[in-house]
Every structure is written in structure tokens, then in C-alpha cells.
Amino acid sequence: MFDDEVYEVTRDEFKGFMGQIKPSCFTYEKYNHGDTQEIKITSMDSTRHFATVKQSDEDIHYYIYEMPLDDERQAPQRVRQITLETKEEVQAFFNALNKIQKEEYTND
């Protein structure tokens, strides 16, 4: 068995990994081990263990074990992250977002 610590990833890395697997190509099982809940993600035929999420109280860990085959993959969705550091930047962002939404609403 592999050492879990070697394969531990962040939540964002885990989401990116899972976003690459076609929904029709994996299944998951939930297990309860006392105060720990585990979600094990495997291939549809249960021969390959892709990943696991382990949660106890407020503590969550994400692990990746095996990559999917090429025919089980899909292109990941693009993720954009914006960091706003001042009140003015936050206000300008929401003003721009409101303007875009108003334009889309009037074009419908």
C-alpha cells in the first residue's frame, strides 16, 4: 500500500484532478470509520483507485492514487482566480459585474 502523505494534495488540486475524469468513468463509495468519514473514488469496474477524501471533524485531507486512462479523461474547465485587496477594488469589481449582467439582461 502507498504512503498517503506522499499523495496528499490541496482541495483545489483535487477538484482539478476530479474535473479531468469523465463522470461516466468513476464511482465512489462512502465509509464511516468511527469519527472519520472516507469517500473512495474508483474506476467504474472498481479495478483502479483514483482518489480518496478523508474527513474527521473540521479536518479534511485529499489523496490521489492513480491517474485515469486517456479514454476516461476530459479537458478540465478553466478556472479564473481574482484577488481583490482593497475596498475600492472590490467595489469596482462588483460595479463591472453588475454592468455586464444588466447588458446581458437587456439583450435577452
Domain count, the chain: 1
Q: pLDDT: is 23 or 80 the higher one?
A: 23
- What pLDDT is attached to residue 108? 61
pLDDT above 60 for 34: yes
Q: What is the pLDDT of residue 6?
A: 58
Q: Roughly how many angstroms between the first and final C-alpha of the chain, as a whole number?
A: 56
pTM above 0.75, yes or no: no
Please state, in angstroms and rounded to a whole number, the distance separating the CA atoms of residues 53 and 75.
22
Domain with 17, as residue range(s), is: 4-107
Residue 32 scores a pLDDT above 90: yes
pLDDT category, 5, cuts 50, 70, 90? Answer: very low
Torsion of CA 34, 37, 39, 40, to 10 degrees: -30
SS3 of residue 78 by DSSP = coil
Q: What are the pLDDT digits (tens) for 40-58?
A: 999 999 899 999 999 998 8
Q: What is the mean pLDDT of the chain?
A: 88
Pair 42, 31: CB distance under 8 Å = no
